[in-house]
Amino acid sequence: MNRLAALACGPLLAATALVCPAQEGAPPAVTAAIDALLPNTPPAWVKPAPMSGLWEVAVGSHVFYVSADGRYLLRGDILDTTTRENLTRPARNRARHDAVESLGEANMIVFEPRDPRYTVTVFTDVECGYCQKLHNEMQSYLDAGIRVRYLAFPRAGIGSPTYQTMVSVWCAVDPRDAMTRAKTGREVEAKSCPNPVAEQYQAGQMLGVRGTPTIVLESGEVVPGYLPADRLREAAEVARNEVKG
């Protein structure tokens, strides 16, 4: 593991492909430092930071800063002391949103309301109690206009019994029905096929998912844990307004 990857992104950074960076005129010293410390792992973007003399670098959902001479790397948030605004938060949310979208909706299990107003993406585990509670209340989310997209995050890891169950869910003829069966303790027919479960689990680790459910709003903001439909709708509305703003 190279030093910058260890500092910024955790052990599974290199396992997830990222889009090529937008360099936006970064000095050669900055790009050379990033290339040396992150070989074969291009950041999502490299651009001028809100504070002069620094360059903002995004990898996965992680945002950090490199000095213009390429010598120093800074982790943490930049705060505007006049407005009290966290200037790093929007960049981190955008990076997280882009990383989630890069996984592809076609690889997610989606529950769609008749009149969708919001979309949330949920890292889920079929054995997790609060994941089961959320799923058992699915109709209330749909009634609130919330579109729920599931990504796999088997907490016990790749190769575990839960992982195998989630592979069977994703490989089922009707994945939505299989998800419901798995989360209500009913048997799911064992299946195997090319599937995204391992990739989604690794992406979740890279994005800092530590427990389930972890809900990602349209803005990229994270809700760690279960929320009932009314509170999730409120959070989704705030996120929607941030995206529009």
| C-alpha distances in Å from residue 187, one per residue of 89, 156, 169, 180, 198 | 42, 19, 11, 10, 22
Both tokens of residue 13? 């950074």
- Please confirm, yes or no, whether 128 is among the known catalytic residues: yes
Residue of 92, 131, 147, 233 marked catalytic: 131
At 112, give phi and psi (nearest 5°).
-115, 125
Q: How far is CA 40 from the centre of its chain?
A: 21
Name the token pair of 147. Answer: 């579109």
The active-site residue, picked from 9, 92, 128, 233, is 128
First and final C-alpha spacing in the chain: 39
The verdict on whether 131 is a catalytic residue reads yes
Active site annotation includes 9: no
Closest CA to 120 of 245, 244, 9, 231: 231
Question: Is 92 among the catalytic positions?
Answer: no
Q: Which of 92, 155, 181, 233 is catalytic?
A: 155
Active site residues: 125, 128, 131, 155
